[in-house]
A and B are shown apart, each in its own frame.
Chain A
Amino acid sequence: MFKELDPILHSQLRLAVISLLISVKEAEFTYLKEKTNATAGNLSVQIQKLKDAGYIDVSKQFKDNYPQTTCKITPKGVEAFELYVKALNEYINR
């Protein structure tokens, strides 16, 4: 019996965002956009989904008159990512 893959993470862009955030302390929206090659609109939607699932924290502030959105993975997000990788390994090694 295989564990079902987390539908929140089993999507290209959301998985890319979580994989980036797992390796750093926090990252700005522009950094995530550049590294994932996503459009701003699409990335915003997917970030919101990850936020709603409690996998990431999003903080918005103004710095030097520019809006700054910073994302950070939460402990729940780390746990979900670890479970996702574990389940993925089971699928691949079957």
Chain B
Amino acid sequence: MEEKPISQQESLLLIQQMIQTAKKEQKDDGKAWIVWGWMLFISSVLTIANLHFKWFSTYFFWNLFGIATILIFIYETINVFISKRIRVRTYTKDLFERLNAGFFISLMFIIVAINTGVPPTKGFALLISLYAFWILIYGSALNFKPSVVGAYITWVFGIAALFVKTFELVMVMHALGVLFGYIIPGHIAYKEFRKLHRKEKAEIV
């Protein structure tokens, strides 16, 4: 691109092109939702199996999940410091950083509550509700409909979890909430991101 005068039509076209280019920065590849979603889903399913077959103590797989989460958190934190610099900052990315921090604090709050007297059946219902809240904000900010729809479905399972009697059923609600809230929208986002990436590559060629 050179420094040259342009016609009004060319100006308008250029503005549109550049805004479209910058908008691509707002896209999420969905990988984090997929990893987080599958981790939660597998932990729920293994807990159901564990309750049924009585392999280990009830929360064995959730303890494993907690250790894995802490390790991933440490890895990601280190990565932020040693990875290449951020070339562009968007208002959406800034919002997500704060949203993720708030989500993590609230998550810890509920986990501590479960460990200090709140019944796990109710605690997990609260967790499902927290996921739904996070998914709704994320989906709305990205204008990503599968996440917005997924958030409301997750809330339905969260409410259902409040009223079911056994921990096994709470785990079923948890697994279903995670499936519709994180896993399915995550895979759709990943597919769309790849499609966009391929299109962009084809345009360059």
B89 touching A13 by the CB < 8 A rule? no
Interfacial residues, chain B to chain A (CB-CB below 8 A):
1-6, 8-12, 14-15, 17-19, 21-23, 25, 85-91, 93-94
CA distance A45 to B4 in the complex (A): 13
A15 touching B15 by the CB < 8 A rule? yes
Count, chain A residues at interface, CB 8 A = 34
B6 touching A23 by the CB < 8 A rule? no
| Nearest CB of chain A from residue B10's CB, rounded to whole Å | 8
Contacts of B15 in A (CB 8 A): 15, 19, 85
> Given A35-B21, A88-B11, are A26 and B2 neighbors across the interface (CB < 8 Å)?
no
| Nearest CB of chain A from residue B15's CB, rounded to whole Å | 5
> Given A13-B3, A14-B3, A92-B8, are A23 and B19 neighbors across the interface (CB < 8 Å)?
yes
B94 touching A25 by the CB < 8 A rule? yes
CA distance A5 to B15 in the complex (A): 14
Contacts of A63 in B (CB 8 A): 85
B3 touching A28 by the CB < 8 A rule? no
| Nearest CB of chain A from residue B167's CB, rounded to whole Å | 45
A36 touching B91 by the CB < 8 A rule? no
